[in-house]
Every structure is written in structure tokens, then in C-alpha cells.
Amino acid sequence: MPLGSLIGSGHGIQNPHNVRLIIEQARVPVLVDAGIGTASDAAMAMELGCDGVLMNSAIAHARQPVLMASAMKKAVEAGREAFLAGRMPRRQSADPSSPFAGRING
């Protein structure tokens, strides 16, 4: 079953919420196997917690396939590290993170 979007479409992950639900309930490794169009799509899949991505079209149809393959490798690694690191909580309002100590007041 195509998990990202239609096979060969390059539309990326159309429904990240559903991907997350599948990952949470699956008892087997989860791969995004369709729809990856560029490196940011691969990073998103990994940030969602996928175990990997399976791709062909994004690399095969790139203007520079070798360069795209390199970008995909880096994106998958970065996405996995971001997932393991854990993203900051989303907030409904601003929450200043800069300390007040050492501030120059004018």
C-alpha cells in the first residue's frame, strides 16, 4: 500500500497523521514506499518515526540523480536523528527562550 502518496507522484506525505497512527499501532517496521519527491519528504517520513523509505522515482527522474541520492541519504539520516532527539512541544502562543540575565537595557 502506498504510504506517502500515489506511486511515482512525488507529492510527498499527504497525510502525516495517518502515517503516525500506523507507526504507533504497527508491530513491524514501517517504510514509506511511495510519493517521495525530494529530500524534505524523506526527512519528514523519518521525523514521523518511519523505519525507512523506499524510493526510486525521486532519484531516477531527478535532473542530477547522483546528487539527489546524496541529498536523500542526508535527509533520511537527519530525519531519523530529529525523531530520536524528540521535537520541542508545539505551543499555541509565543514562549520566549532567551534569558533575561546579561541583557542590555537601553
15-48 as b/e, with b when 16 or more CB fall inside 10 Å? eeeebeebbeeeeeebebbbbbbebebbbbbbbb
Going from the C-alpha of 25 to that of each of 13, 19, 21, 44, the distances in angstroms are 18, 10, 6, 19
From first to last of its 106 residues, what are the pLDDT tens digits of the chain?
556 655 666 667 878 898 899 999 999 999 988 789 999 999 999 999 999 999 899 999 999 999 999 999 999 999 999 999 998 888 888 877 777 777 777 5
Residue 5 lies in a domain: no
Is residue 55 in some structural domain? yes
**pLDDT at res. 21:** 93
Q: Does the residue 28 lie in any domain?
A: yes
| SS3 state of residue 15 | coil
Tally of structural domains, the chain: 1
Domain containing 58: what range?
A: 16-85
